[in-house]
A and B are shown apart, each in its own frame.
Chain A
Amino acid sequence: MVRIRALDRKMLRELWKLRGQLISIGLVVATAVMTLVTMRGTYEALEKGRSAYYRDYRLAHVWSSLERAPESLRATLARIPGVAAVETRVSAFATLDLPWLDAPGQGLFLSIPETGEADADAVHIREGRTVRAGRAAEVLVSENFFVANDLEVGDTIRAVLNGVRREMRIVGSAIAPDQSYAVPAGALYPDDERFGVFWMSRGVLGPNLDMEDAFNLLAVRLSPGASEVGVIREVDRVLDPYGGLGAYGRADNLSYKILNDELNQNRTMGTAFPMVFLGVAAFLLNLVLSRLIATQRTEIGALKAMGYTNREIGLHYLSYSVAAVGLGTLLGAAGGVWTGGAMVDLYDEYFKFPTLEYTLSWTLVLIGGGVSLIAAVAGGAGAVRRAASLPPAEAMRPEPPDRFTPGWIERAGIGEFLSTGGRLILRNLERRPVRALMSSLGVAFSVAILVIGMFMFDGIDRMMDLQFSVAQREDLTVSFNQELGEGVRYDLARFGGVTRVELFHTVPVRLRAGHRERELAITGLERDTRLRRIVSESGRIHPLPAGGIAMSAYLADRLGVRRGDTLTVEALTGLRRTERIPVTDIVEDLLGVSAYMDAEGLRRLTHEGPRASGAYLLTDGAREAQVNAELKAAPAIASVASPSSMLESFESQLEDSIFIAIFFIVGFASIISVAVIYNGTRIALSERGRELASLRVLGFTRQEVATLLFGEQGVITVLAIPFGWVIGYGLAYLVVTAMASETYRIPLVVSPGTYFWTALITVIAAIASSMLVRRRLSRMDLIAVLKTRE
């Protein structure tokens, strides 16, 4: 028979007795571990899925579009030092005729090799099969478009390719790493209903585009250690005679950049939130265990008197911390497997990697458990040390009554207006200000993490509102097949139902400031634009600068320029002129990165007459169908977008990515909040048990005693709420700063609704905890409590 030492028996029995509290402490640990294992684990899974995707489907490192080059140039390109593989392709945008839509759609047609797989940017078939060589009418469709339009394998689709209307049969749906974020020409966001990617056999698409034995798109993979900059320079040199539009690396590839931004954001959330949660859990563990063990003061004294050493006693009480943290870590790991799996499943639908799997990372479990254990042991050890440092004779005596002297309550004369109960509550808080403060801080932290979970909805709301009702006020954005002259304004205005037309002109440019450069399109707006306005985070509308550039603060930051600096702007089309243009305004905007000029100023750069790439239209709502029908019939119009469908698409993108995380965060924050408050109340009960029992013996009713206990907790909770709002606001600032990306920057907005909800959840948690503890208070054995000290 294994003999269990008496001290260990004591430990086992006491752990069992304190199970309610240990479980609720364990829940805090579990939540912190679960947050870490879920969020960081999800990030790691995404990262792994992305690496595998890029590796297995050979995402290129450098791309370049060009007008046309003979296929024979491929050998020259392959000889560039550092180039491991060259894939030449043909590509073209084409107008789609989608009978089920009232506006024209747009397709990006890309070639895939007739035999074998591409050396770069291969496709992954999601449904159906790939196209067969020589079959003229077969096409693979991007999965998003396929799903958004309810297409099926075997359906046909009509497109105007190179001026010829063609009908094609869909043989499958696919994804490709270079097209993971496919957007219509010149747009910021995908529009899956109206825009898709279509892969056709090179042998079919080439001749259709008059590109037999020629290519107009290049994708290059680099050998390990090769210099991207060097290869880009060489590619540009080789392609220059063939109308090369400038080679670029992954950092300038939209699909790569967006996915990278999203993963970075996911990493930020997957690191920042668990760190905050773990930090809060550590603080709480420290607080709770130190108070829990402080209630064992007399026992510690007795054990010391018997001759137990501080070490033996310390190790004994360590078991509280180990049990709570061990239990929490296991629960957190188990819960994390479940929530991590669920989160990855949700992300899988959004990111669509060929493989995405969640695996529990024991390293994360150990980090979470380890940090919690250190905090718990530190808290527990502090309390053991304090109790053990007292001479045992003193530790064994019940704590002497606190020396009450008239405090500020009496001095301020508030006491007279309060009942005895009210005075007792306030005096208790007053005599232990540090303890009250720490308890309040514990609750405040739980309020704070609710704030950082919830405020993001506010920020996103504000962002959407500014973008889609203040900045973009048009009903429709149309883009033209090619640049058109001023006259198009009158053509559009003649469409029935169009009430206002504003033209815009986008010019692809390279911006240079010192050694930093950036390619993007400058949007030229009409000077008196009313439909498209430049709006900053605060909602302020910036006037269109005359003769200079207004740009996103995010972009200015990347380029290292300030208002008043001068940029070198190189047009990438037409005469490719280079001009020095001043930065006249920097706008703290929220979506994407933009650069605006007034259309006339932009003309000085292009040295052309008035040109338009598209137009913003205001329509008479009642006649929208008519406008759409006329636009669809107009051959010059490549695509029509409406801010409302962009808003929808953007919202669904956010829903699929960031809202998933927020949902988990709010859930986790709520658990912590309840656990913290429950613990606080439980410990208050064991600290005050004797006093409350004495009051009961004196004739106080259960209700009166409960009021005293919960009144004190209530004051602590109520004080904690505004405190938590302030901490939450500070943490929210850190979160938005860390999460800012080129795609969007969530503004730091915390709405009254969020303040209200965080307070409400906290108050509900407090009431629920009180009810749980109230049961215990009612069952309190008066005699036993007075006779023995636990």
Chain B
Amino acid sequence: MTRESILEARGLSKVYDMGEVQVRALRSVDLDLYHAELVVLLGASGSGKSTLLNIIGGLDRPSDGTLRYKELDLSHADDDELTSYRREFVGFVFQLYNLIPSLTARENVSLVSEIATDPMQPEEALELVGLGDRLDHFPAQLSGGEQQRVAIARAVAKQPELLLCDEPTGALDAKTGKLVLRVLDQVNRETGTTTAIITHNVAIAGLGDRVIRMSSGEIAEVTVNEERVSLETVEW
């Protein structure tokens, strides 16, 4: 299968200066993301997967190496260019949801659809994640799983090219976690959005087209799944 690479990272490194010590979070990582694929990033805590995802998503800058999104050189992009990259192409889902507590589900999604070029209607995005009946609830009135699905709706409403999810099920129980993963899987299949999911849950690995294992800031192994397994067979 030869697919079009939309994102290309070469020799990515990230060093955090923590005063007395320097932490090398990424050590010369090479990575490509292909159009419409679903990638699962596996690794223990501290393996560098969040750092990698943040850099890919334009939330952080690499200390060294090159990063290109299509024609865009992200490794030398300034703050404005990174902002417009995130605004145009990237959707994020975070472990802690990061919803705005003072806005309802619908308004949280509007926050993104209002600044995107060709967005879905907020209602449509929420319908997609199965929350068509919770439009006017505030985050505090929603369960963790519902909050995470609002976060997904918020991320997909702009119809991003790239959907990046950092431990989307990390704060959820197994049942709710599956529900959230089903939504992500469905979005990937239906909209063809390139999706990267970070997890430390090995059981999820089968869901991806590819599985990238990280360890100590390096890519330890890349596995290509011949076939994506069905969510029903996943147990954790």
Whole-angstrom CA separation of A298 from B154 in the bound complex: 17
Q: Is B36 an interface residue (CB 8 A)?
A: no
List B contacts of A392 (CB < 8 A): 59-60
The reply to whether B60 and A10 contact each other, CB–CB distance below 8 Å, is no
Q: How many Å from the CB of B97 to the closest CB on chain A?
A: 9
- A-side interface mostly: helix
The reply to whether A305 and B92 contact each other, CB–CB distance below 8 Å, is yes
Give the contact stretch, choosing among B83-91, B126-134, B216-224. Answer: B83-91
A17 touches which of B88, B90, B102 (Cβ 8 Å):
B102
Whole-angstrom CA separation of A303 from B59 in the bound complex: 11
Q: Is A784 an interface residue (CB 8 A)?
A: yes
Give the contact stretch, choosing among B69-77, B111-119, B179-187, B204-212. Answer: B111-119
The reply to whether B98 and A6 contact each other, CB–CB distance below 8 Å, is no
The reply to whether A299 and B59 contact each other, CB–CB distance below 8 Å, is no
Q: Is A227 an interface residue (CB 8 A)?
A: no
The reply to whether A306 and B59 contact each other, CB–CB distance below 8 Å, is no
**Considering the complex, which residues of chain B in the window 113-154 have a beta carbon less than 8 Å from any beta carbon of chain A?**
114-116, 139-140, 154
Whole-angstrom CA separation of A391 from B53 in the bound complex: 13
**Considering the complex, which residues of chain B in the window 76-114 have a beta carbon less than 8 Å from any beta carbon of chain A?**
79-80, 83-84, 86-88, 90, 92, 94, 96, 98, 100-103, 107-108, 110-112, 114
Most buried by B among A5, A308, A310, A392: A392
For the complex, count residues of A whose C-beta is within 8 A of B. Answer: 30
The reply to whether A7 and B114 contact each other, CB–CB distance below 8 Å, is yes
Q: How many Å from the CB of B60 to the closest CB on chain A?
A: 4
List A contacts of B110 (CB < 8 A): 5-6
Residues in A lying within 8 Å of B, measured CB to CB: 5-7, 9-10, 13-14, 17, 298-299, 301-310, 312, 391-394, 396, 403, 784, 788, 790
Whole-angstrom CA separation of A6 from B108 in the bound complex: 7
Q: Is B49 an interface residue (CB 8 A)?
A: no
Q: Is B176 an interface residue (CB 8 A)?
A: no
Q: How many Å from the CB of B122 to the closest CB on chain A?
A: 9
Whole-angstrom CA separation of A301 from B99 in the bound complex: 11
For the complex, count residues of B whose C-beta is within 8 A of A. Answer: 35
19 A-B pairs with C-beta separation under 8 A: A5-B114, A6-B110, A6-B114, A10-B103, A13-B102, A298-B98, A299-B100, A302-B94, A302-B98, A304-B86, A305-B57, A307-B84, A307-B88, A310-B83, A391-B61, A393-B50, A396-B98, A403-B19, A788-B139
List A contacts of B158 (CB < 8 A): 307
List A contacts of B103 (CB < 8 A): 6, 9-10, 13
Q: How many Å from the CB of A401 to the closest CB on chain B?
A: 13
Which 7 pairs of residues, A with B, have the shortest CB-CB distance? A307-B87, A6-B110, A393-B54, A393-B59, A13-B102, A302-B98, A391-B60
Q: How many Å from the CB of B21 to the closest CB on chain A?
A: 11
The reply to whether A309 and B98 contact each other, CB–CB distance below 8 Å, is no
The reply to whether B83 and A14 contact each other, CB–CB distance below 8 Å, is no
The reply to whether A788 and B102 contact each other, CB–CB distance below 8 Å, is no
Whole-angstrom CA separation of A308 from B94 in the bound complex: 17
A788 touches which of B90, B94, B101, B108 (Cβ 8 Å):
B101
The reply to whether A306 and B60 contact each other, CB–CB distance below 8 Å, is no
The reply to whether B111 and A396 contact each other, CB–CB distance below 8 Å, is no
List A contacts of B57 (CB < 8 A): 305
Q: How many Å from the CB of B197 to the closest CB on chain A?
A: 17
The reply to whether A306 and B112 contact each other, CB–CB distance below 8 Å, is yes
Specify the chain B residue showing the minimal Cβ separation from A781. Answer: B140
